Amino acid sequence: MERVSNDAATLPPLDELLSSARVVALPLAVRFRGIEVREAVLFEGPEGWTEFSPFVEYDDHEASAWLTAAIDFGWMPQPLPLRHEIAVNATVPAVAAASVPEVLARFDGCRTAKVKVAEPGQRLADDIARVAAVRIALGVEGRIRIDANGAWNVDEAEHAIHALAEYDLEYAEQPCETVDELAELRRRVKYMGIPIAADESVRKAADPLAVARAGAADLLVIKVQPLGGVRRALGIVAEAGLPVVVSSALDTSVGLAMGAALAAALPQLDYDCGLGTSSLFTADVVSPALVPRHGVLPVGRVSPDPVLLDEHAAADERAEWWRARIARCYGLLGG
């Protein structure tokens, strides 16, 4: 994705960033995205606490947008909220069907569930069993959306959506990798009334608006850190002209507060947001953690508990790895 460079004059000094940086490692209750521990860096800026947590496999160029978002949220005033709580969905990793009730029990009052499908090493039968278990747990009024993270080709996606359609899907998120594939799939399944959502085709694309211009999606999944912050994400949403779902990138409660700030500032918010993912952790840095209560999250900044920061501090070598990464990304922003 093409990054917008920061004017070095607008950046806080690198020493200021590093002086408050706390690197944490939070264990997950369920393996998700191939990891069992989530690492993140927290900073305290003049506006409050903020987060930098690109996944470890992302290169510095991609991760620099996440640092832009962290600096923006910690050092700049944010848009005023238009709402004070955000309805959120449960997130069901690629677990066995028998484990679905246990996962959903972690998401208090959520009426919508996003179900991971197309997991490497699994079959479509596993996806069907998982989605069926979610439908049983949520009942007929619950909403189910699936997320394939671009793992299917067009034929596989069409077949899978047909197989899963009986469970009344709200939408299918990033079923294929490319914009052209999404456009073709959308054409094929349009008669079924199942919308296509784009995630990676927005946050990892050279042009985050290409998928909207191509008519390849019915809605966009927006993640604030990869897009460079709340204000930049708001601009992308306004220009795209499509409904959106604000989602997290497996953030701590500090990062989730950033996502909630974006969701709260949107003029229109028709879908439950994917900001309840702190429920997948067995520990967090905020007490109480920013988890769904009666299906919603409050809007507002949060501050980490110093005791929890110490308790979940990453090992020294991991902390040094993150500090070096921050310095490299900072250099890419013009610092």
* 138 within a domain of the structure (yes/no): yes
Rounded-to-integer distance, Cα 275 and Cα 250, Å: 9
254 and 166 co-located in one domain: yes
Catalytic position from the list 114, 190, 204, 223: 223
* 325 within a domain of the structure (yes/no): yes
For residue 27, give both structure tokens.
Answer: 């264990």
Rounded-to-integer distance, Cα 68 and Cα 209, Å: 19
* 3 within a domain of the structure (yes/no): no
Q: Are 310 and 282 spatial neighbours (Cβ–Cβ below 8 Å)?
A: no
* 2 within a domain of the structure (yes/no): no
Answer yes or no: is pLDDT of 185 > 90.
Answer: yes
Return the pLDDT at 31: 85
**In 3-state terms, what secondary structure has residue 274?**
strand
Q: pTM of this prediction?
A: 0.94
Return the pLDDT at 241: 96
Return the pLDDT at 32: 84
Which DSSP category does 152 fall into?
A: B
116 noted as active-site residue: yes
Instruction: Give the DSSP H/E element, type plus range, for residue 304.
Output: none
Query: How far apart are the two ends of the chain, measured CA to CA in Å?
Result: 20
Give per-residue pLDDT as tens, 118-170.
999 999 999 999 999 999 999 999 999 999 999 999 999 999 999 999 999 99
Q: Are 189 and 171 spatial neighbours (Cβ–Cβ below 8 Å)?
A: no
Return the pLDDT at 34: 83
Average pLDDT for 249-257: 96
Return the pLDDT at 2: 43
Q: Which residue has the tokens 């390849």?
A: 216
Average pLDDT for 186-207: 95
Rounded-to-integer distance, Cα 303 and Cα 299, Å: 13
Q: Are 107 and 279 spatial neighbours (Cβ–Cβ below 8 Å)?
A: yes
12 and 129 co-located in one domain: no
292 and 324 co-located in one domain: no
Q: For residue 7, what pLDDT band results from cuts at 50, 70 and 90?
A: low
Indicate which CATH number applies to the domain containing 285. Answer: 3.20.20.120
Q: For residue 6, what pLDDT band results from cuts at 50, 70 and 90?
A: low
Return the pLDDT at 30: 86
97 and 40 co-located in one domain: no
* 156 within a domain of the structure (yes/no): yes
236 and 107 co-located in one domain: yes
**In 3-state terms, what secondary structure has residue 126?**
helix
Return the pLDDT at 206: 87
Q: For residue 33, what pLDDT band results from cuts at 50, 70 and 90?
A: confident
Q: For residue 316, what pLDDT band results from cuts at 50, 70 and 90?
A: very high
CA distances from 9 to 125, 205, 271, 304 (A): 55, 27, 38, 29
Q: Are 275 and 259 spatial neighbours (Cβ–Cβ below 8 Å)?
A: yes
Q: Is 147 annotated as a binding residue?
A: yes
Q: Is 108 annotated as a binding residue?
A: no
60 and 155 co-located in one domain: no
Return the pLDDT at 9: 53
Q: Is 126 annotated as a binding residue?
A: no
Give per-residue pLDDT as tens, 50-98.
999 999 999 999 999 999 999 999 999 999 999 999 999 999 999 999 9
202 and 313 co-located in one domain: no
Return the pLDDT at 1: 41
**In 3-state terms, what secondary structure has residue 69?**
helix
Catalytic position from the list 114, 116, 190, 204: 116
Q: Are 264 and 81 spatial neighbours (Cβ–Cβ below 8 Å)?
A: yes
- C-alpha count within 13 angstroms, C-beta hemisphere, residue 251: 28
223 noted as active-site residue: yes
* 220 within a domain of the structure (yes/no): yes
Give the start-end residues of each E strand in 160-234.
Answer: 169-173, 196-198, 219-223
If you average pLDDT over every residue of the chain, what do you get? 95
Rounded-to-integer distance, Cα 327 and Cα 335, Å: 9
150 and 275 co-located in one domain: yes
55 and 158 co-located in one domain: no
Which residues are within 8 A (CB) of 71 and not within 5 positions of it... i.e. 6 or more apart?
6, 11, 12, 17, 45, 50, 229, 333
Instruction: Tell me how crowded residue 205 is: count the other CB atoms within 10 A of its CB.
Output: 16
Indicate which CATH number applies to the domain containing 42. Answer: 3.30.390.10
172 and 223 co-located in one domain: yes
Question: What's the total number of domains in the chain?
Answer: 2
Which residue segment(s) compose the domain that 14 sits in? 8-78+307-332
Q: For residue 249, what pLDDT band results from cuts at 50, 70 and 90?
A: confident
